[in-house]
A and B are shown apart, each in its own frame.
Chain A
Amino acid sequence: MSTLDIRIDHDVIASWVAEGARVLDLGCGDGELLRYLKDKRGVSGYGVEIDVERVIAGMKNGINVLQIDLEEGLYDFEDQSFDLVIISNALQTLHRTEKLLCEMLRVGREAVVSFPNFAYWKHRVAIMDGHMPVSDRLPFQWYDTPNVRFFTVADFEALCEKLGISVRERLVLDDAGKPVTEEHNFLGSFALYRLG
């Protein structure tokens, strides 16, 4: 994510989380988001990360980090033990999408999911030109991308419907980080959802 996206992502999530909430951040990376929510909203909780160097970075950031493989599911975590379970810009890097979404709402009362929209018009243009899209939101070549699931705003909403997950709030952003008000699946390159 670009610095701008990170800032927007963090600010939006901060506005969706209650003061002092108990938060689980899946794929927490270097722990910047959890650190931010801790400082800004006084949250407590844990980050989950698979990569040891990011675990170390998270610990340096002063957050609780648990080195756990999310593909295993969230069996360590009790039902409804968190106010909010976040997966910020990481759902597309995991295989067991359905299971994880269900698990997030088993463990948390609410969930926040943010992800890049593969159906953004510039991405569609790239495909029309015969190439996999590479952009600020999808900054990888096809051969080195950590992404394993390629989905769109429309796909995600269809899956939520199938799983009976209700969308509380949605924010879709364009390349400049401005909210998109129409044709979300075409004009938006990054989406944030508040579920539960």
Chain B
Amino acid sequence: MAIDFPPSSGSVGVVAPQSARFDTPLTLKSGAVLPGFELMYETYGALNDARSNAVLVCPALSGHHHAAGVHADAPDNSGWWDNLIGPGKPLDTSKFFVVSINNLGGCHGSTGPVSANPDTGRPWGADFPVVTVEDWMAAQALLADRLGVESWAAIIGGSLGGMQAMAWAIHLPARVRHAIVIASAPKLTAQNIAFNEVARQAIITDPDFHGGHFYEHDTLPRRGLRLARMLGHITYQSDDLMAEKFGRRLREGGRKFSFEVEFEVESYLRYQGDKFAASFDANTYLLATRALDYFDPAGDAGGDLAAAFAPATADFLLVSFSTDWRFAPARSREIVDALMRNRRNVSYAEIESSAGHDSFLLDDPHYHAVLRAYFDNITV
């Protein structure tokens, strides 16, 4: 069967982040109250007169608002989902008005641990309240109000981002017409929570963490963050891909009988770890992994995922990747199953890919063709 794979075309070009300030208190799932907050976001494309073409892009663990295009001061730093979003791309900005967000608790400008705690005037640090996927959704909903978006044409996210799309479909069903959930899960398994716990322990036990108040000590838990990211990277890739990318290759031909960087894979992990440690906030990492751990709509509905999805009215697209063992295809199938029990419109694609969990960020032609076909059929 012949399928056209149109070349991914244009970039949205130079974009500028925006921020929205909310001065109404937000009660979080934990019971804590945030007196007010700020959200950073970017938009691509234009909202139509009917306000019916808005798409919300929900970030994954380390994601932020810069999903497409470039900033004027950093012309080489394309958004994290630039291969997907743009004119003529699968999420076509000549049709859709795309909103991409940095969530509450983030470290890219939205109110989070780095921001000043209004009670003390000092950074929140570890005192920033634990936020959940549902809290993020609530904050996103306030931004939607601000932007004049009554109902999203679609909400899309991969991994933790997919959980946000599910939360909207369950809790604010009238406000989302299509939920696109990629490489995600209805809840984390014990093994998955365990990986998060190791990452958190790496950070928390770093002497430079200072109980989360490292800003005041003018330092940061670099070693902890680096380890957390190295561990994450291993689980986001497949055994096959690492074998293909690095194998057992040594950087300098022979063994040095040392514990220096000798294998290529060590070099890669250290590089990724260092890069991340220099740019990401340790407290945000703790918060985001906890949000992942807590997400469990079935647990909130007596253990029955189908019951959890009963309020949903959106149409769904689920996508998984064959070698993703951290958010395995079987976990997406659980969601498909729960949606079918509710007689929802749902499509599901399981993409052959060697890249593991990271596949959702790549531009596999079948993956993008699936998204393109789905988005093309969304009426605005």
Q: Which residues of B from 143 to 164 have beta carbons under 8 Å from A?
A: none
Q: Which residues of B contact A171 (CB under 8 A)?
A: none
Q: Which residues of B from 70 to 91 have beta carbons under 8 Å from A?
A: none
- B377 touching A60 by the CB < 8 A rule? yes
What is the CB-to-nearest-CB distance from A183 to chain B, in angstroms, rounded to a whole number? 36
- In the bound complex, how far is the Cα of B336 from the Cα of A67, in angstroms? 11
- A64 touching B346 by the CB < 8 A rule? yes
Stretch in A50-58, A108-116, A134-142 with 4+ CB within 8 Å of B: A50-58
- In the bound complex, how far is the Cα of B345 from the Cα of A65, in angstroms? 9
Q: Which residue of A lies closest to B316 (CB)?
A: A64
Q: Which residue of A lies closest to B372 (CB)?
A: A56
Is B333 located at the chain interface by the 8 A CB criterion? yes
Question: Beyond A22-B343, A76-B333, is A56–B3 a contact (Cβ under 8 Å)?
Answer: yes
What is the CB-to-nearest-CB distance from B20 to chain A, in angstroms, rounded to a whole number? 34
- In the bound complex, how far is the Cα of B318 from the Cα of A65, in angstroms? 10
- A44 touching B343 by the CB < 8 A rule? yes
- In the bound complex, how far is the Cα of B205 from the Cα of A7, in angstroms? 69
**Contact-size category for A:** 20 to 34
Q: Which residues of B contact A58 (CB under 8 A)?
A: 347
Stretch in B97-105, B243-251, B277-285, B349-357 with 4+ CB within 8 Å of A: B349-357
Q: Which residues of B contact A65 (CB under 8 A)?
A: 347-349
- B376 touching A60 by the CB < 8 A rule? yes
Is B373 located at the chain interface by the 8 A CB criterion? yes
- B377 touching A66 by the CB < 8 A rule? no
Q: Which residues of A from 46 to 98 have beta carbons under 8 Å from B?
A: 46, 51-60, 62, 64-68, 76-78, 81
Q: Which residues of B contact A44 (CB under 8 A)?
A: 343, 345
Is B340 located at the chain interface by the 8 A CB criterion? yes
- A30 touching B347 by the CB < 8 A rule? no
- In the bound complex, how far is the Cα of B145 from the Cα of A17, in angstroms? 45
Q: Which residues of B contact A67 (CB under 8 A)?
A: 348-350
Q: Which residues of B contact A64 (CB under 8 A)?
A: 345-347
Is B337 located at the chain interface by the 8 A CB criterion? yes
- In the bound complex, how far is the Cα of B345 from the Cα of A51, in angstroms? 20
Q: Which residue of B lies closest to A66 (CB)?
A: B348
Q: Which residue of B lies closest to A52 (CB)?
A: B366
What is the CB-to-nearest-CB distance from A41 to chain B, in angstroms, rounded to a whole number? 17
Q: Which residues of B contact A76 (CB under 8 A)?
A: 333, 336-337, 340
Among B333, B336, B340, B366, chain A packs the most CB atoms within 10 A around the CB of: B340
Question: Beyond A64-B345, A68-B348, A78-B341, is A30–B374 a contact (Cβ under 8 Å)?
Answer: no
- In the bound complex, how far is the Cα of B3 from the Cα of A182, in angstroms? 43
Q: Which residue of B lies closest to A65 (CB)?
A: B347
Q: Which residue of B lies closest to A22 (CB)?
A: B343
- In the bound complex, how far is the Cα of B343 from the Cα of A55, in angstroms? 20
- A53 touching B1 by the CB < 8 A rule? yes
Question: Beyond A53-B1, A55-B349, is A60–B373 a contact (Cβ under 8 Å)?
Answer: yes
Is B370 located at the chain interface by the 8 A CB criterion? yes
- Per CB-CB distance, the 9 closest pairs between chain A and chain B, nearest first, are A59-B373, A66-B348, A60-B373, A53-B1, A52-B366, A53-B3, A56-B369, A67-B349, A67-B350
Not counting A53-B3, A58-B347, a sample of 9 additional A-B residue pairs whose C-beta atoms are within 8 angstroms of each other reads: A52-B366, A56-B369, A56-B370, A62-B377, A65-B349, A66-B336, A76-B337, A78-B340, A81-B340
What are some 10 contacts across the A-B interface (CB < 8 A)? A30-B1, A44-B343, A53-B1, A55-B347, A55-B349, A56-B373, A59-B373, A64-B346, A67-B350, A76-B333
- Residue numbers of A with Cβ under 8 A of B are 22, 30, 44, 46, 51-60, 62, 64-68, 76-78, 81
